[in-house]
């Protein structure tokens, strides 16, 4: 067995697990596949407006009953895990809670010779603009500069009241 085989097997397990999670969330295999294809194509072309539209529609489709009798909507990790599941189900190189010398980045995605650095915030708890401010002030891109690839900072802010993305800000680093 080669040295890379365990990594490939772990990646396949992560991909399969996240595909199963998305099937549970979406409840429609055809729609799940379509959403994954749309995400892949939009990421491939750096269509951030399209990615925002896709995730807003996805969060809007999650039944309100899932939020009753719990306060999951107030936790950044809930929203981040949905993003992670989508990207991981595509088999992309995704790193979550990526520690740097300046702090911890919520999610990094390496794809198509680009690096996407994501920061997620609940706007009622962190304030408007906090995600992009953190991406810039902590310069998470430093960890990846040696790759010589284009960087995209992506700050996504959610509202615990609307249970959806309320801001989706992008910038080149």
Domain ranges of the chain: 5-172
Edge-to-edge strand order for the sheet containing 103-111?
93-100, 103-111, 114-122, 151-159, 164-172
pTM of the model: 0.80
pLDDT (tens digit per residue) in 29-67: 555 567 778 999 999 999 999 999 998 988 888 777 877
pLDDT (tens digit per residue) in 81-97: 888 888 888 888 899 99
Residue 125 and residue 89 in contact, taking contact as beta carbons nearer than 8 Å: no
């Amino acid at each position: 067995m080669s040295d890379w085989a365990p990594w490939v097997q772990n990646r396949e397990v992560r991909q399969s697990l996240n595909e199963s999670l998305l099937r549970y969330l979406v409840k429609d295999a055809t729609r799940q596949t379509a959403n994954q294809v749309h995400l892949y194509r939009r990421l491939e072309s750096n269509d951030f407006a399209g990615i925002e539209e896709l995730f807003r529609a996805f969060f809007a489709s999650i039944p309100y009953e899932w939020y009753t009798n719990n306060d999951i909507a107030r936790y950044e990790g809930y929203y981040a895990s949905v993003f992670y599941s989508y990207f991981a189900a595509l088999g992309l190189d995704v790193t979550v809670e990526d520690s740097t010398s300046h702090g911890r980045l919520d999610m990094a995605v390496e794809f198509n010779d680009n690096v996407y650095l994501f920061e997620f915030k609940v706007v009622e708890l962190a304030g408007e603009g906090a995600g992009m401010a953190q991406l810039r002030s902590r310069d998470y891109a430093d960890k990846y500069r040696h790759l010589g690839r284009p960087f995209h900072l992506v700050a996504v802010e959610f509202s615990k009241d609307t249970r959806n993305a309320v801001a989706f800000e992008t910038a080149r680093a």
